[in-house]
């Protein structure tokens, strides 16, 4: 007998199934997700937790006509499988393959591209009101996790949505951080269906009409209703935003989910306004190892489902994240003023040990990057030394606070920017391509670009020693493998060094591309400068190199436009120096997901690409380097 899942090529096929078969389909879908992710790597725990919810949403709503907007989107593998992409799951997060997040250009069922949190309610509200304005009868559903609900943007959207009385918007809160306690069982299933049913809605409407002639009685009735619902559900908050709150219900119980969603759909058809459904799910549902440790199985690489995650027998190279985590603990031990701040990225940013050793100085503010930056500013005002561990791509969300609350007041906040540059399988949504351009233009800011692990530790110390804001940007994963030195030595602010002496052409490297630059320079006979700082720029070294070479090349794993190469060009112009300049970096395009080395090669930022670009631009001059220029001095 063929598997049910093999017969589902679109949600239309799903909606043809008898409801009695949906449980079997969900079981097959969960097994397929587990098998797929074990072969490709990717997000697992979150996807195992949304299987039944995905089935129920596509079963009840007429997708893609009805719009589903998945917040963050790292829980959409079941959605992808049910929407005609089952056979392509083997290409997940690989170059040219399926994205790990929703993408509008990948499928009509991906109604909104997501990957950063807390955007779903805003987008879905925009879709619902657009449909209303165009006279189109469709629903918009935002599926948002409890973590994403901690961000201010989600509440801004709720506040806006609540004033649109006839809006066909449903917000589904996927709560996977609380246990399914007794109130979520049979009694609460009944209450959820009752509160989403016609009788309750009609009685509520009639009651308001009858009591409206006696305002004191109406207010008393509202208080009694809120109190009665509040005994079993946290309704009051969301109803005060203007939503009809329903739940919480078991997000793995299709016999609860489907009737409730059908009732909600009918409520919206009757003009009941925005609805809020609270479902409780379990990360890793159905796979015991992921249930027991959902963090470890959040984003695993390839593994054997029967064996689970196994520790490698060969020690892995130390990652930049680990370098930062160890530096943070060492510096905290030395300086009691240090406080560590993260917007919900404790594990990703390498702060687990710091949290364990210095719990009173560790602050996880939730998915609230804007708050994290201003919170750090407030601490800095009181004489503390905040270190904000944040991914480059997420600092974009706190940009106004960075300018107005930190830089304008010249406060000594260190920003440890993880995932700077390309990030591989997560793709364009997570790439740290823009931090140099958007930081470089801010007065009082400095930007350090360590070339390897040892420099990363030293430049973090340099940043911490300053009395103004400094960002230290470093990539995902490991670098050249240079073992960090013990101690807390620093490097001079705004000073680089010559790493290879040549002639003709000088390559000015910012960050970890120093090492492919050195490889290319060996073939070209070029000089290589490790610039270390994008701001302040080492103009003394720059002008020395410019005076002793025929042409200059800048190299950075960041956006070319406005980046470190632009800083070099501006400095040369300011000094009245005219010199041929080739700027290499990330092109003016969004980089696809794929294996990092392949992506760098496609951008021409591996050793071969650097060499080819220099030869193409400078021709015979690129072969002229046959020894160090006599006027060039090494700068330590």
Direct distance between the N- and C-terminal alpha carbons of the chain, in angstroms, rounded to an integer: 72
Helix (H), strand (E) at residue 510: strand 505-510
User: Could you read off the pLDDT of 562-601 as tens digits, one per residue?
Assistant: 999 999 999 999 999 999 999 999 999 999 999 999 999 9
Q: Average pLDDT, stretch 98-118?
A: 95
Average confidence score pLDDT of the chain: 90
pLDDT of residue 239: 84
Tokens of 332: 């905290």
How far is Cα of residue 52 from the mean position of the Cα atoms in its chain?
Answer: 25
**What is the C-alpha separation between 50 and 281, in angstroms, rounded?**
7
Question: What is d(CA 355, CA 340) in angstroms, rounded to the nearest whole number?
Answer: 9
Higher pLDDT, 358 or 166: 358
| Whole-number pLDDT of residue 467 | 98
Tell me which of 52, 239, 369, 611 is the catalytic residue: 369
Does the structure show a pLDDT above 50 at 308? yes
Catalytic residue among 265, 397, 419, 476: 397
pLDDT beyond 90 at 181: no
d(CA 516, CA 436): 20
Q: Percent of the chain, pLDDT > 70? A: 87
Question: What are the angstrom distances between the C-alpha of 631 and each of 258, 502, 627?
Answer: 78, 11, 12
Which has the higher per-residue pLDDT, 317 or 264?
264
231 band by pLDDT with thresholds 50, 70 and 90: very low
> What pLDDT is attached to residue 182?
40
Residue 106, judged by CB atoms within 10 A of its CB (0-12, 13-18, 19+), counts as: middle
Phi then psi for residue 624, to 5 deg, are -80, -15
| β pairing state of 533-535 and 446-448 | antiparallel
Do 33 and 51 contact (CB within 8 A), yes or no?
A: yes
pTM (whole model) above 0.85? yes
Q: Is the pLDDT of residue 247 over 90?
A: no
pLDDT score at 458: 98
Active-site annotation holds for 283: yes
| Domains delineated in the chain | 4-291 (3.40.50.970), 320-473 (3.40.50.970), 498-623 (3.40.50.920)
Nearest-angstrom CA–CA distance, 527 and 521: 7
Which one-letter DSSP state was computed for residue 82? I
The yes-or-no verdict on residue 504 having pLDDT over 50 is yes
Q: Say whether pLDDT at 289 is over 70.
A: yes
How does DSSP classify residue 84? I
Span 319-345, pLDDT tens digits: 999 999 999 999 999 999 999 999 989
Task: Spot the catalytic one: 93, 283, 440, 532.
Answer: 283
Structure tokens at 105: 């250009």
| 311 among known catalytic residues | no
Q: Round to whole Å and give the CA distance between 184 and 181.
A: 6
């Amino acid at each position: 007998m063929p598997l049910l899942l093999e017969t589902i090529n679109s949600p239309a096929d799903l909606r043809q199934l008898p409801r009695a078969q949906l449980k079997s389909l969900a079981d097959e879908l969960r097994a397929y997700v587990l098998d797929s992710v074990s072969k490709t790597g990717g997000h697992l725990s979150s996807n195992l937790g949304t299987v039944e919810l995905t089935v129920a949403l596509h079963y009840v709503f007429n997708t893609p006509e009805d719009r589903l907007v998945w917040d963050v989107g790292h829980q959409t593998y079941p959605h992808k499988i049910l929407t005609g992409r089952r056979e392509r799951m083997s290409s997940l997060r690989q170059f040219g393959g399926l994205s790990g997040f929703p993408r509008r250009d990948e499928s009509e069922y991906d109604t909104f591209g997501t990957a950063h949190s807390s955007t779903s309610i805003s987008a879905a509200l925009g879709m619902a009101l657009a449909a209303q304005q165009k006279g189109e009868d469709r629903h918009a559903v935002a599926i948002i996790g409890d973590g994403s609900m901690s961000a201010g943007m989600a509440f801004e959207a709720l506040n806006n949505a609540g004033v649109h009385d006839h809006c066909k918007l449903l917000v589904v809160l996927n709560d996977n951080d609380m246990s399914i306690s007794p109130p979520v069982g049979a009694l609460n299933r009944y209450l959820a269906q009752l509160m989403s049913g016609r009788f309750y809605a009609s009685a509520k409407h009639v009651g308001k009409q009858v009591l409206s002639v006696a305002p004191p009685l109406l207010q008393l009735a509202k208080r009694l209703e809120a109190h009665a619902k509040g005994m079993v559900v946290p309704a009051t908050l969301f109803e005060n935003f203007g939503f009809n709150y329903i739940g919480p219900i078991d997000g793995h119980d299709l016999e609860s989910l489907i009737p409730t969603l059908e009732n909600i759909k009918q409520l919206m058809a009757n003009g009941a306004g925005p609805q809020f459904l609270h479902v409780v799910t379990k990360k890793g549902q159905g796979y015991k190892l992921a249930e027991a440790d959902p963090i470890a199985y959040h984003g695993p690489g390839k593994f054997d489902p029967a064996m689970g995650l196994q520790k490698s027998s060969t020690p892995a190279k130390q990652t930049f994240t680990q370098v930062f985590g160890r530096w943070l603990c060492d510096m905290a031990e030395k300086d009691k003023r240090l406080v560590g701040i993260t917007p919900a990225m404790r594990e990703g940013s390498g702060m687990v040990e710091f949290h364990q050793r210095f719990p009173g100085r560790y602050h996880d503010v939730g998915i609230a990057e804007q708050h994290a930056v201003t919170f750090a500013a407030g601490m800095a005002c009181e004489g503390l030394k905040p270190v904000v561990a944040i991914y480059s791509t997420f600092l974009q969300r706190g940009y106004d606070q960075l300018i107005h609350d930190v830089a304008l007041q010249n406060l000594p906040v260190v920003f440890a920017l993880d995932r700077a540059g390309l990030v591989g399988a997560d793709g364009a949504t997570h790439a740290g391509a823009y931090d140099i351009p958007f930081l470089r233009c801010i007065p009082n800011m400095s930007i350090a670009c360590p070339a390897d692990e040892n420099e990363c530790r030293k430049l973090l110390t340099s940043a911490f020693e300053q009395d103004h804001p400094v960002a230290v940007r470093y990539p995902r994963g490991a670098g050249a493998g240079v073992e960090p030195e013990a101690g807390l030595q620093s490097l001079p602010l705004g000073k680089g060094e010559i790493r290879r002496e040549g002639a003709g052409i000088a390559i000015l490297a910012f960050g970890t591309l120093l090492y492919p630059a050195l490889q290319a320079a060996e073939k070209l006979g070029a000089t290589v400068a490790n610039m270390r700082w994008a701001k302040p720029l080492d103009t003394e070294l720059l002008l020395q190199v410019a005076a002793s070479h025929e042409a200059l090349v800048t190299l950075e794993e960041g956006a070319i436009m406005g980046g470190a190469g632009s800083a070099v060009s501006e400095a040369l112009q300011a000094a009245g120096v005219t010199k041929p300049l080739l700027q290499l970096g990330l092109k003016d395009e969004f980089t696809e997901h794929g294996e990092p080395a392949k992506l760098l090669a496609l951008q021409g930022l591996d050793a071969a690409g650097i060499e080819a670009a220099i030869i193409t631009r400078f021709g015979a001059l690129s072969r002229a380097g046959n020894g160090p220029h006599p006027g060039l001095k090494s700068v330590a």
